[in-house]
């Protein structure tokens, strides 16, 4: 039996030493059939996973289906619509994160060539109607498909038609966590604006720069609660989590529906008559992964507000946040501490359409973006972690610099290209 105090201690055990902070990056991609522009089905993605095993990956199976791969602290998993995701290992520098990603890219390119596939790193499927998206046969996704739309009208679009980038960063104490979590939450609108990359739906402009953000704002268990812009500590996060309904529980190798019971009910043994056990720490970990806020807490802080992007820029987001949170936290925090929560929440709603023109405290996000970019660059330079060529991590900010110097996100560029070319072939990444 676990108590609330046990759960608070769980987060306390996530505290790292200041000289041992790591960076984890997760990014998702769509794979399409080269000839039909159709999303690949589970049979094909299984072939891709089996192919990737030759590079040292080990398979994870569910009911004889290969559903994931793992090696050396990282994993390859499948989202509900067969989106493929690399969940990177916790590493000490952006240099290492990017090398990890590029190695995976090379492996995935070989798989695409083998099976006549094309990859795309936009954040919303630009071609498919949701009813035509092939599904991944995971038990948990079947339950989520049934449950999620009840409390979020675009929940299924989130599951089957979006891709994102997540950044995982450590904290050294609860006080440090509070500051980092608050900064990450206040910067959500800026993330949406800089990394917007989902303006197309069903072969048409959808009216958004980040349609993915719109979807996530209308997803069950998603969004940016006002409480996240306050001083969220471990106890408050535990209270929020345990009072949230369970999506499912995992027992004896099966995911089971529990009819809107909360995790607190589970702790108190008040689930189904067929489940006599009370919740344990592993159950709590599973539950935490079903909370889909823009920022969330595990044993690290997960920043989830970035659209995914092509390989030339996907290191930019992790570098941007690493520079701020690990390299220049106090200076960045001082700025957002003067922002009103009402301004941030309003910007959160507007950034998906207005992008860098969104206003917070009488400045556009373009102006704020340049301010925070400079702080991030200074932070990365202060970290002074260099590659073999003697260059520090600030080299990975070039894509962010390009967005802000030109006042054009990936979404803006996509819109311009779509209007000029009248097709979407340009969205595919080169695999040769």
Q: Which H, E and C letters describe 288-332, residue by residue?
A: HCCCCCCEEECCCEEEEEEECCCCCCCCHHHHHHHHHHCCCHHHH
Tell me, yes or no, whether 286 lies in a domain: no
Domain assignment present for 344: yes
Please give the pLDDT value at position 161: 98
- 3-state DSSP assignment of residue 251: strand
The pLDDT assigned to 431 comes to: 62
Measure the CA–CA gap between 376 and 333, rounded to whole angstroms: 12
pTM of the model: 0.96
User: Domains in the chain: how many in total?
Assistant: 1
C-beta of residue 306 within 8 angstroms of C-beta of residue 195: yes
Q: Which domain holds residue 84?
A: 4-244+291-423
Average pLDDT per consecutive 10 residues, the chain (432 residues; last block may be shorter) = 96 97 96 95 96 96 88 96 97 97 94 96 96 93 94 97 97 98 98 98 97 98 97 98 95 85 92 79 96 98 94 88 98 98 98 98 98 98 96 97 97 96 86 58
Distance (Å, whole) CA 402 – CA 397: 9
Residue 109 lies in a domain: yes
Closest CA to 255 of 220, 292, 290: 290
d(CA 60, CA 111): 19
DSSP 8-state code for residue 69? E
135 belongs to a structural domain: yes
User: Which helix (H) or strand (E) element contains residue 111?
Assistant: helix 94-115
314: CATH: 3.30.590.20
């Amino acid at each position: 039996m676990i108590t609330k105090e046990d759960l608070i201690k769980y987060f306390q055990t996530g505290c790292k030493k200041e000289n041992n902070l790591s960076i984890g990056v997760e990014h998702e991609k769509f794979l399409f059939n080269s000839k039909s522009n159709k999303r690949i089905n589970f049979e094909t993605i299984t072939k891709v996973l089996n192919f990737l095993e030759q590079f040292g990956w080990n398979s994870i199976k569910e009911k004889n289906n290969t559903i994931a791969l793992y090696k050396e602290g990282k994993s390859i998993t499948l989202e509900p619509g067969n989106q493929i995701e690399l969940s990177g290992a916790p590493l000490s520098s952006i240099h290492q994160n990017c090398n990890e990603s590029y190695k995976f890219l090379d492996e995935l390119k070989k798989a695409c060539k083998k099976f006549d596939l094309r990859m795309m790193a936009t954040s919303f499927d630009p071609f498919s109607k949701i009813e035509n998206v092939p599904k991944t046969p995971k038990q948990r996704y079947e339950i989520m498909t049934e449950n999620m739309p009840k409390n979020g009208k675009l929940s299924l679009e989130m599951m089957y038609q979006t891709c994102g980038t997540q950044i995982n960063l450590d904290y050294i104490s609860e006080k440090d966590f509070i500051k980092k979590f608050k900064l990450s939450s206040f910067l959500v609108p800026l993330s949406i604006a800089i990394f917007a990359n989902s303006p197309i739906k069903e072969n048409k402009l959808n009216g958004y720069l980040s349609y993915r953000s719109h979807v996530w704002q209308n997803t069950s268990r998603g969004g940016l609660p006002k409480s996240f812009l306050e001083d969220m500590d471990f106890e408050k996060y535990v209270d929020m989590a345990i009072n949230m309904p369970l999506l499912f529980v995992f027992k004896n190798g099966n995911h089971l529906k529990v009819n809107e019971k909360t995790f607190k009910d589970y702790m108190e043994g008040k689930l189904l008559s067929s489940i006599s056990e009370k919740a344990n720490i592993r159950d709590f970990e599973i539950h935490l992964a079903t909370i889909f806020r823009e920022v969330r807490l595990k044993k690290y802080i997960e920043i989830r507000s970035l659209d995914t992007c092509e390989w030339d820029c996907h290191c930019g987001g992790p570098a941007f946040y690493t520079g701020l949170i690990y390299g220049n936290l106090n200076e960045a925090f001082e700025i957002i501490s003067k922002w009103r929560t009402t301004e941030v929440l309003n910007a959160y709603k507007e950034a998906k359409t207005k992008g860098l023109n969104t206003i917070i405290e009488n400045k556009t996000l373009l102006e704020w973006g340049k301010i925070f970019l400079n702080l991030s660059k200074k932070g990365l330079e202060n970290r002074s972690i260099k590659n073999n060529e003697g260059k520090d991590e600030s080299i990975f900010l070039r894509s962010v610099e390009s967005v802000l110097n030109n006042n054009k996100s990936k979404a803006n560029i996509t819109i311009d290209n779509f209007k000029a070319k009248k097709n979407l072939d340009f969205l595919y990444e080169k695999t040769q």
